[in-house]
Structure 1
């Protein structure tokens, strides 16, 4: 996060999904059709190597062509519907909400073969603040579908969540699951968490000295407190929490469902988190 951004009130650091501000992309990465696209955060959002958090809509018979990332890792998430995900030339149809990470040095693409638009989210973390890509010219439309995905994926399925009482010293019951472990990623990307704060419950204050987090509100509304500042949040909001900042979450009168992206300060911090010696 830039020094200027750190001085802004929390309410001004929170990003809000606004479809009226999406721009149209034609054939992204040599993909089929068009898509609507907007940026919630770019490289300046955190001091760690989160490169961006993007939000958009993939219309019917449209997608993002297969391409490589050799210095960063990216994950396409669909929040509803279904889409064909391709990793290294292997394709499977997955139903949302689901995410498929593309590890550094591998290729990926996505295609919406259905008749309905798909709500899309994209997260990218790099080895540095530099983004790279190499297009293959493959729209991923003429594919053979594998019944069992031959790649890593995560389901943001509430049925997989486990109850946690008094999380981080908070009150009441929340539902939680680590959807992707740090071993999945080759960069400083540390994890993806799925959390539902039940009505009237809260997640207590916690400070991470070597990790930053990016929160994306999937549904519901509630409040987040970061370093003593409190702001209301709702579906489609993004909230950055910098390394060393203290945060607390609470719902009010309905559930608050969030996806959390954890990014380590550096590889040594990630190795420490994984309880192994850094190389």
Structure 2
């Protein structure tokens, strides 16, 4: 399948969702996105990129009432990638969960070792290329000023380009060594490991943060309800139970859990290995984001 054909159909779906408002499945289990390699589609010429990749949607525009446009999951084949393209009304972050990839922002390219990602904010161009001989596990998150996706392709596959030894753009790493202990987080039990990888100032849209969280077996996060902020919890590894608005569901590696504004949520690690999560926060709107920043910023004397 060609990427342009797929995105044209997806944009029509987005327009319908915007016109009719969010339409959610009846249960939390139905709202959670699951990584299923058997259901992934093969794509080529993705934004005029090289080679092929496999692709599957986890969450769409109807997953949250905020301006989440999608969460996608896929595999970028060797010597393949996504060509350089602009987003002017939305922001996107490619994440590689393993291996190494060449990330490009505004024509500057660096090789980055995963698990890592590079946010691309409004009005800038980005690309990704897998120069290695093995497939790379890939995750993509897109948030807009509205729920409308936009792109402008440059016809640049970013193959065999000059590399900067130090990235000349923002990156984030899912590095467990950088996590800090937090006890009884959100009124939960035990000590979890936590770090905010990307701050609200990174993004121009209501996208507000990206966190890294690791919960040892038996620990939990207490119930919280955020009236101005929605979240997506992507399970990097491990197993657990999530409760959202009174519904409890077991979750595991590759799941994406949407938590909408003002929905109560709690989490518990249930497996023998830590429950590792990447958390994406999306505010109700820009005013709500500003209010969140004012409420959470350290006070100076």
Q: Compute the TM-score of the two structures, normalised by the length of structure 1.
A: 0.97
In structure 2, do the counterparts of structure 1 residues 145 and 47 end up closer, same or farther at CA, with 3 Å as the change threshold?
same
Cα separation, 2, equivalents of 1:28 and 1:229 = 38
Matches within 5 A, 1:80-91: 80-91=98-109
From 163, 175, 185, the counterpart of 1:145? 163
Cα separation, 2, equivalents of 1:240 and 1:97 = 22
Cα separation, 1, equivalents of 2:241 and 2:181 = 20
Question: How far 1:273 sits from its partner (Å)?
Answer: 1.0
Secondary structure at 1:269's aligned position in 2? helix
Secondary structure at 2:62's aligned position in 1? helix
Give the number of aligned pairs: 275
Matches within 5 A, 1:22-41: 22-41=40-59
Aligned residue in 1 for 2:115: 97
Aligned residue in 1 for 2:292: 273
Unpaired runs of 5+ residues, structure 2, are 1-16, 296-301
Aligned residue in 2 for 1:205: 223
Question: How far 1:4 sits from its partner (Å)?
Answer: 4.6
Aligned residue in 1 for 2:258: 240
Q: In the alignment, is residue 174 of structure 1 matched against residue 162 of structure 2?
A: no
Cα separation, 1, equivalents of 2:32 and 2:61 = 15
Question: How far 1:5 sits from its partner (Å)?
Answer: 1.4
Question: How far 1:255 sits from its partner (Å)?
Answer: 1.1
Contact 2:22–2:65 (8 Å) recurs in 1: no
Question: How far 1:13 sits from its partner (Å)?
Answer: 1.2
Q: In the alignment, is residue 66 of structure 1 matched against residue 66 of structure 2?
A: no
Contact 2:23–2:62 (8 Å) recurs in 1: no
Cα separation, 1, equivalents of 2:56 and 2:23 = 23
Cα separation, 2, equivalents of 1:193 and 1:246 = 19
Cα separation, 1, equivalents of 2:23 and 2:108 = 44
Q: Deviations 1:128-180 (Å, cap 9, x if unpaired)? A: 01110000000010311101100000001001000110000000010000010
Cα separation, 1, equivalents of 2:208 and 2:33 = 22
Question: How far 1:12 sits from its partner (Å)?
Answer: 1.4
Q: Which runs of 4+ in 1 moved over 2 A?
A: 1-4
Question: How far 1:185 sits from its partner (Å)?
Answer: 0.2
Contact 2:209–2:281 (8 Å) recurs in 1: yes
Q: Compute the TM-score of the two structures, normalised by the length of structure 2.
A: 0.90
Question: How far 1:235 sits from its partner (Å)?
Answer: 0.1
Cα separation, 1, equivalents of 2:275 and 2:31 = 19
Contact 2:233–2:257 (8 Å) recurs in 1: yes
Secondary structure at 1:159's aligned position in 2? helix
From 177, 187, 205, the counterpart of 1:159? 177
Secondary structure at 1:45's aligned position in 2? coil
Q: Determine which structure has the larger strand proportion and give its number.
A: 1
Unpaired runs of 5+ residues, structure 1, are none
Q: Deviations 1:173-209 (Å, cap 9, x if unpaired)? A: 1000001000000000000011011111001111110
Question: How far 1:3 sits from its partner (Å)?
Answer: 5.9
Cα separation, 2, equivalents of 1:157 and 1:27 = 32
Aligned residue in 1 for 2:278: 259
Matches within 5 A, 1:121-136: 121-136=139-154
